[in-house]
Amino acid sequence: MEKCWQSPHRRWNPLRQSWVMVSPHRTQRPWQGEVAQKAKPDGVAYDPECYLCPGNKRAGGAVNPAYESIFTFVNDYAALLPEAPASHETPASPLLVAEPARGLCKVLCFHPDHSLTLARMTQAEIRRVVDAWTQEYAELGGLDWIEYVQIFENRGAMMGASNPHPHGQIWSTGFVPDEPAAETAAQKDHLARTGHCLLCDYVATERAEQERILLENEHFMALVPWWAVWPFEVLLVSKRHLGAMPELTGDERDGLADALKRLTTRFDNLFETSFPYTMGFHQTPTDGEAHPEWHFHAHFYPPLLRSATVRKFMVGFEMLGMPQRDITPESAAERLRDCSEVHFWPRG
């Protein structure tokens, strides 16, 4: 099928109900734009200047405990606060609408070793992170005013990570944010029209096609989605229909840790660099409503395009018109499949 898609075309994203334009012929264009520095794994296990290392003082003044595994805390500079003042001002126009926004934002340190990333942690260490994510989702989503729990990781300076220590964030909000709200609508629509789960149908389609699948285990599949926007974007999806992490069995949690380890290692090996990305889990809203349409999955959005130093920019037509990519998802999947699952930079 790859040969059929070498001319400009656009592809439909049923999960977002939007289009992406694909322009494969543009891969030959010369590049004279920004070239970033290649990121090598950090070799320092403890950094006395790091705000997240065990025993260190954070920017806000609090001191971290001498943690030996997982460490979570409320973000010292949170984007949302649990208490929001009531809005008393009447807008001058119906076009000037605002409302209070509440939330609780936390940081989760994956490991005390400053030098590690998910790709260089063991599967057992990643399983402990999965368990911590599950607990945080359950506890935060159990608050009666929290409607969504967004678990995510910004990996690397290129993706805006302010600290290289292995960590992610959890923003729980008193509303359902735009992206999961759009996915809720799409999944509801598909279920109403077909009687089937959208992502269950999609996994079956990809299994039949085989072109875009990167790796599988008994419980999870990782693939470059048909509608991928970022060059090496990946969708990680559970094979069983379930909505959120607390529904995962012990074996499925192991399967998720295995998939995360293997996928992030392939990412690093692609350009032999500490691969930057934004990764996040999309799961059932905690708004008190029934959501049989929801299917647990994670998105990986890496910016790298041609090498460890050249990235994709979402500018111009992408900002003003619609998303556009050069290399086809099939090409990206083939390149990631060819990567080893043994990390190029041995731990220790």
Does 263 reside within a domain? Answer: yes
Whole-angstrom distance, CA of residue 267 vs CA of residue 276: 9
Residue ranges making up the domain that contains 209: 36-81+99-337
DSSP of 61-117: S-B----SS-EEEE-TT-SSBS--PPP-PPPSSTTS-----BEEEEEEE--S-TT--
pLDDT at res. 35: 53
* 124 belongs to a structural domain: yes
Residues 203-250 have pLDDT tens digits of: 999 999 999 999 999 999 999 999 999 999 999 999 999 999 999 999
pLDDT, position 167: 97
**Does the pLDDT of residue 38 top 70, yes or no?**
no
> What is the DSSP code (8-state) at residue 270?
H
Q: CATH number of the domain at 231, please.
A: 3.30.428.10
Taking every pair of Cα atoms in the chain, the longest distance, rounded to a whole number of angstroms, is 61
pLDDT at 36 over 80: no
Average pLDDT over residues 250-259: 98
What is the chain's alpha carbon radius of gyration, rounded to the nearest angstrom? Answer: 21
CA distance 253 to 218: 11
Domain count, the chain: 1
Give the helix/strand (H/E) hosting 330: helix 329-337
Residue 32 above 70 pLDDT?
Answer: no
Which structure tokens are listed for 232?
């090496």
- In this structure, is residue 10 part of a structural domain? no
274 lies in some domain: yes
Check whether 33 has a pLDDT greater than 70. no
Rounded to the nearest integer, the mean pLDDT of the chain is 93
When pLDDT is cut at 50, 70 and 90, the band that residue 4 belongs to is low
Question: Per the domain annotation, does 25 fall within a domain?
Answer: no
Lowest mean pLDDT among 47-56, 110-119, 157-166: 157-166
Residue 323 confidence (pLDDT) above 60: yes
Q: At what angle do helices 123-141 and 250-271 cross, to 10 degrees?
A: 120
Q: What is the pLDDT of residue 1?
A: 45
**Mean pLDDT to the nearest integer, 259-287:** 97
Among residues 167, 282, 295, 299, which one is catalytic? Answer: 167
Does the residue 43 lie in any domain?
yes
Q: What is the pLDDT of residue 31?
A: 43
Residue 273: helix, strand or coil by DSSP? coil
Share of the chain above pLDDT 90, in %: 82
Q: What percent of the chain has pLDDT over 70?
A: 93
Residue 327 within any structural domain of the chain = yes
Look at residue 112 and tell me whether its pLDDT is greater than 50: yes
Q: Looking at the predicted structure, is the pLDDT value of residue 66 above 80?
A: yes
Q: Is residue 24 part of a domain?
A: no
Q: Which residues pair with 102 in a beta bridge?
A: 81
DSSP-derived letter for residue 245 is G
Whether pTM > 0.85 for this model: the answer is yes
Check if 167 is active-site: yes
